[in-house]
Amino acid sequence: MSIFYSIIAFLGGLSMFLYGMRVMGDGLKSSSGGAMKNALAKVTGKPVMGFILGMLVACIIQSSTATIVITVGLVGAGFLTFHQSIGIVLGANVGTAITAQIIRLMDVSSGTDSPLYFFKADNLAPLALTIGITLIMFVGTSRARNAGSIACGFGILFMGLIYMSNVVSGYGEALSGLLTAFQNNYPLGFLAGVLVTCVVQSSSAVVGIIQSIASSIGVSFNAVFAVIIGVNIGDCLTTYLVSRIGAKPNQRRTAMVHVIYNVFAALLCILLVVIGRTTGLINDELWTMTLNSGGVANIHGCFRLIPAVALLPLTSLFEKIACTIVKDEPVNAEDQSAIAALDALDERFFDTPAIALSQVESVVLEMSDIALHNYDACVRQMYEYDPKRTQRINERENLLDSMTDAANKYIVSLSPHVISESDTRMQNALLKALICYERIGDLAVNISEEIELIHASNYQFSPNAMAELRIAFDAIYEILDITTRAYKTKDAALAAQVEPLEEVIDDLIEDMNARHVYRMVNQLCDAVNGIYYQAILTNIEHISDKCSDIAVYILEDTNPDIFGKEHSYVHELHHSNNKEYMQAYQRDYDKYFSALNAVSVTDRVPEQERPDYGEKTVSRSRPGVKLRSSRRKNESPDKQ
């Protein structure tokens, strides 16, 4: 039973060590996370700079895994290229060795009169815990809590090491026999290092265990070198598995470079040991020399640093190997066109802002087509449901988000170079247009999500409700088509057709909502269906609002007085005697309300029960033209 309790005690010490590492790492990341991400994002394409930065970041947060996972995330977000990430990966492998150097403080053994006595683990651990808990409990500021977490993590880490060392010291003979087995069976030692690191998921933790053993009973070089090489391989396998979940090809390549590099590094370390033994550089004395905690830390550091420096010039080779292993995912024609437009956003055009802005406009035009395709797909889902179509809708939405982020970042970076008034107006119009098209894409996804809920719940709209929705969907098809053609051609006359149609769509949605309320009140439709129906109508109306915004931005080209006064312009247009506007409104009104009134009368709202929409007959135009005087363009929160 004593062995059982010793195992429990050892596992308890290991748990304290792992938890201490986690607490200290979290504190370090919280206190320096923003600066760390900014530093990584600003790295140049030079592998040496990336190497140094990766090493420093890993030293700060004491985790190569965390550093590489963050790097993979930045590659996916577009802040780093795959090429830039390679140097950081190599540097992170070196930086993580700092943990072992901290743990070597366990070797300090001096009398109470010596200044070094202060650095003994037995003294540092309780002191760090005292400082940490004081900062957390009695200071309370954010910085103090972070500093306290670091100190507490440091103290817990060493308490765990001390606990493990105390347990290990009682089994020196057995552990010596285990390590001696690795002296004659290096593949076994290598595999042990790989497997244990994969289980523990921390190379620092496994090296720390070896150091605790070394501190208690000592270990020989020939017993641990293969284990330490295996530890490095096990660490990169864990990182690869964590980093590739849901990752894009370039992200997976970054994680793969970590594996490729460590395989090369392991082979190089083995080669150096073989050469050392063959040439006598590693003589019998060194080969069987007993190592303490500091000796293990030094071997670990050398096995990290020497391969990194030697293999740094081979970053291009690692890049090619990773690209060969991780293939690009198949891309359809729509995505290829969008990616080509994004690739054309070259900062070398900044010296000629007009060309740079035209590149952004190409991106916005691609976004307009993608948003229109997504709207069409969500309408098809309503009448011809297909789960595969939902996946493509989400892919388009992610593409729209990426294009918006890239174009917005490009425009902001271009700003210092934009001087002329015409370029400034174009820049502002592009920013507004790309946001509108991204929003239209969002609204299409919102409709798709409502349809998904309806399908999952096995709800169905009544035939009349479905027929009415088709009319609203057709109106949005038309306004999207007019808006997109006007934007592509910069046709002011075409853009002027958008606002009257948008007003008709608002009236249409309002009438359809009233019809559906009537159906629910008269139990022709249940309340849950009503919620889904009204949510779809709301998103439809907001799409028309965005088309209205884009049309106004187009009209600013021919009427600069509109700039900065868009809401006032639309409001005055609604209350003006503009003959063209009223005729267009009447034409669209007749078209869509005739279709709506043609729907079966069984659930139509009686005339006397229809709500007062605040409408007025405009006798200045053809009889029957109605413009709502109470509505204001800026009343809709979506229009802000």
How many DSSP H helices and E strands does the chain contain?
25, 4
Of the ranges 42-56, 328-342, 491-505, the best mean pLDDT one: 491-505
H helix runs in 384-420, sequence order: 387-414
Residue pLDDT, tens place only, 616-632: 333 333 333 333 333 33
**In which residue are the tokens 């956003």 written?**
345
Q: State the CB neighbour count (10 A cutoff) for residue 575.
A: 10
Q: 436 in a domain, yes or no?
A: no
Q: Give the per-residue pLDDT at 209.
A: 76
> How confident is the model over 588-617, as a mean pLDDT?
62
> How confident is the model over 424-430, as a mean pLDDT?
86
Q: 579 in a domain, yes or no?
A: yes
Q: Is the dihedral of CA 328, 329, 331, 336 positive or negative?
A: negative
Q: Give the per-residue pLDDT at 625.
A: 37
Compute CA distances 309 → 94, 237, 303, whole Å. Answer: 10, 21, 11
Give strand pairing partners of 626.
617
Q: 434 in a domain, yes or no?
A: no
Give 284 or 493, the one with higher predicted confidence. Answer: 493
CA distance 316 to 118: 47
Residue 28 has pLDDT above 60, yes or no: no
423, 424, 429, 434: CA torsion to nearest 10: 90
Q: Residues of the chain with pLDDT > 70: what percent?
A: 74
Last residue of a domain, one of 325, 360, 386: 325
Lookup: tokens for 2: 């004593």
Compute CA distances 306 → 46, 94, 207, 298, 311, whole Å. Answer: 19, 9, 18, 12, 8
Q: Give the per-residue pLDDT at 436.
A: 92
CA distance 341 to 332: 14
Provide the domain limits for residue 572. 461-640
Give strand pairing partners of 220.
290
Residue pLDDT, tens place only, 182-223: 666 788 888 887 877 776 656 777 777 777 777 777 778 887
Q: Give the per-residue pLDDT at 187.
A: 85
> How confident is the model over 19-28, as a mean pLDDT?
68
Residue pLDDT, tens place only, 68-86: 766 776 676 566 778 888 8
Q: Which helix (H) or strand (E) holds 627?
A: strand 626-628
Are residues 171 and 318 both part of a single domain? yes
> How confident is the model over 12-36, as a mean pLDDT?
66
Instruction: Break the chain down into helix, strand, coil percent, rounded to 5.
Output: 80, 0, 15
What is the Cβ-side half-sphere exposure of residue 233, based on CA atoms within 13 angstroms? 22
Q: Give the per-residue pLDDT at 182.
A: 65
Last residue of a domain, one of 325, 349, 375: 325
Residue pLDDT, tens place only, 435-444: 999 999 999 9
> How confident is the model over 593-620, as a mean pLDDT?
54
Q: 512 in a domain, yes or no?
A: yes
**Buried residues in 450-489 as b, exposed as e (16+ CB within 10 A):** bbbebeeeeeebbebbeebbebbbebbebbbebbbebbee
Residue 282 has pLDDT above 90, yes or no: no
CA distance 143 to 149: 10
Query: 136 pLDDT band (50/70/90 cuts)?
Result: confident
Compute CA distances 498 → 48, 137, 142, 511, whole Å. Answer: 55, 62, 52, 20
Q: Give the per-residue pLDDT at 122.
A: 67
Q: 356 in a domain, yes or no?
A: no
Task: Look over the chain and give the mean of its residue pLDDT values, rounded to a whole number.
Answer: 77
Query: 539 pLDDT band (50/70/90 cuts)?
Result: very high
Q: 131 in a domain, yes or no?
A: yes
Q: Give the per-residue pLDDT at 564.
A: 65
Q: Give the per-residue pLDDT at 555.
A: 83
Contact 531, 462 (CB under 8 A): no
Last residue of a domain, one of 325, 358, 379: 325
- Give the number of domains in the chain: 2
Any idea which of 230-239, 289-298, 350-359, 549-558 has the lowest mean pLDDT?
A: 230-239
Compute CA distances 23 → 16, 58, 127, whole Å. Answer: 10, 16, 16
Q: 413 in a domain, yes or no?
A: no
Residue pLDDT, tens place only, 465-476: 888 889 999 999
The phi-psi region of residue 578 (left if phi > 0; otherwise alpha if psi is between -120 and 50; otherwise beta) is beta
Rounded to a whole number of angstroms, the CA Rg of the chain reads: 34
Q: 516 in a domain, yes or no?
A: yes
CA distance 495 to 546: 13
